[in-house]
Amino acid sequence: MRFATLISGRGSNMQALLEACAEPGHPAKPAIVISNKADAAGLEIARAHGVPTKVISHKDFPSRHDFEAALHQAIVESGAEMICLAGFMRLLEADFVDRWRDRILNIHPSLLPAYRGLHTHQRVLEDGVRFSGCTVHFVRPEMDAGPIVFQACVPVREGDTEDSLGARVLAWEHKLYPLALRLMAEGKLRVEGKVVHIDAPLALQDGLMNPCPERN
């Protein structure tokens, strides 16, 4: 399955996807990386992987609709059958999302539906919650919403900063997203309403507690 990746910046999740796909026999093949920002660091990484890149700046279009029409055209022309959003900082309109329904994945650095939007780690720290994490989900027109494929949960530790918590979450993002892409490319993700069914053997974890009483 060929996929397009949409980025706006650093591109570390995109890099995790491209590296996973470079493994022999991987069922997904990168068709194109598109950035809405010409100076996105991820573009260089994509080129180093030999993946075609394109800059489509939202600022070059009179409306969101025109911008998304250009995105759609570039994605179709690349031969991509699905889209991975990887730090793409533009909201997509219902028109676009509906055209690609159940064929757009996104990664978000929180345990959705908690902490949609920006500055998730800052807000998590302010609220004093004990766990955070990340979510891979199918995209719906509402921001950071849609059927959830995977979540990983990390403890928030005493003394954490946005950077330390962000790094702990990001390490899991880089594991979850390639796994979700692989299952998607293998046709093993089935969306029914709000729920994603995964047609693959997966282990279940036991519950977690944080912080935990010290063991004697």
Name the residues that contact ligand GRF, by CB under 6 A. 7, 9-14, 42, 86-87, 107-109, 134, 170, 173
Q: How far is CA 8 from the centre of its chain?
A: 12
35 vs 78, which CB is nearer to ligand GRF?
A: 35
Q: Which single residue brings its beta carbon nearest to ligand GRF? A: 87
Residue type, 122: Q
Residue 160 carries which side chain, given as an amino acid letter? D
Considering the complex, state which of residue 12 and residue 164 has its C-beta at the smaller distance from ligand GRF: 12
Distance CA 183, CA 60 (A): 36
Q: Residue 205 gets which letter from DSSP?
A: P
User: In the complex with ligand GRF, which residue's Cβ is closer, 21 or 86?
Assistant: 86
Per the annotation, the verdict on 26 as an active-site residue is: no
* Residue from 108, 121, 137, 174 carrying the catalytic annotation: 108
- DSSP strand E in the chain: where? 2-7, 29-35, 53-55, 82-85, 104-108, 131-138, 148-155, 189-192, 195-198
| Residue nearer to ligand GRF on the CB measure, 109 or 146 | 109
Closest contact distance (angstroms) between CB of 214 and ligand GRF is: 32
Taking the least distance from each CB to ligand GRF, the nearer of 134 and 189 is 134
How many other CB atoms are there within 10 angstroms of residue 174's CB atom? 17
How much of the chain is helix, strand and coil, in % rounded to 5? 35, 25, 45
Burial of 163 (0-12, 13-18, 19+ CB in 10 A): exposed
Q: How far is the CB of 209 from ligand GRF (least distance, A)?
A: 25
Beta carbon of residue 155, minimum distance to ligand GRF (angstroms, whole number): 18
What's the min distance (Å) between Cβ of 161 and ligand GRF?
A: 15
Q: How far is the CB of 23 from ligand GRF (least distance, A)?
A: 19
Which of these, 182, 216, 183, lies nearest to 198 by C-alpha position? 183
Instruction: Indicate the helix (H) or strand (E) that contains 164.
Output: helix 162-185
Catalogue the active-site residues: 108
